[in-house]
Amino acid sequence: MGRLANRIAIVTGGANGIGEGIALEFAAEGAGVAVVDLDFERAKSVAACIERQGAAALALQADVSNELSVASMVAATVQRFGGLHILINNAGIDPRYPCHEMSVGQWDHVQAVNLRSCFLCARAAFPHFRANGSGKIVNIASVTFWRGRPKNLVHYIASKGGIIGFTRALACDWGEFNIEVNAISPGAVETEREKQIATPEMLAELVAMQALPRRVLPRHNARTAVFLASSDSDTITGQTLNVDAGLAMH
Considering the domain boundaries, does residue 248 fall inside one? no
Considering the domain boundaries, does residue 118 fall inside one? yes
Which burial class, exposed, middle or buried, applies to 223 when counting CB atoms under 10 A from its CB (0-12, 13-18, 19+)? middle
pLDDT band at 199 (very low <50, low <70, confident <90, very high): confident
Which helix (DSSP H) or strand (DSSP E) does residue 159 occupy? helix 154-174
Considering the domain boundaries, does residue 204 fall inside one? yes
Considering the domain boundaries, does residue 46 fall inside one? yes
Query: Do residues 43 and 55 make contact, with C-beta atoms less than 8 angstroms apart?
Result: no
Total tally of structural domains belonging to the chain: 1
For the chain, the average pLDDT equals: 96
Active site residue 97: no
- Domain of residue 214 covers 8-242
Considering the domain boundaries, does residue 99 fall inside one? yes
Considering the domain boundaries, does residue 25 fall inside one? yes
The per-residue pLDDT for 191 is: 82
The per-residue pLDDT for 198 is: 80
Considering the domain boundaries, does residue 247 fall inside one? no
Of 156, 166, 167, 171, which residue is the catalytic one? Answer: 156
Q: What is the CATH number of the domain that holds 165?
A: 3.40.50.720
What digits encode the pLDDT tens for the residues 78-88?
A: 999 999 999 99
Query: Do residues 53 and 221 make contact, with C-beta atoms less than 8 angstroms apart?
Result: no
Q: What average pLDDT does the segment 206-218 reach? A: 92
pTM: 0.96
Q: What average pLDDT does the segment 87-93 reach? A: 98
Considering the domain boundaries, does residue 78 fall inside one? yes
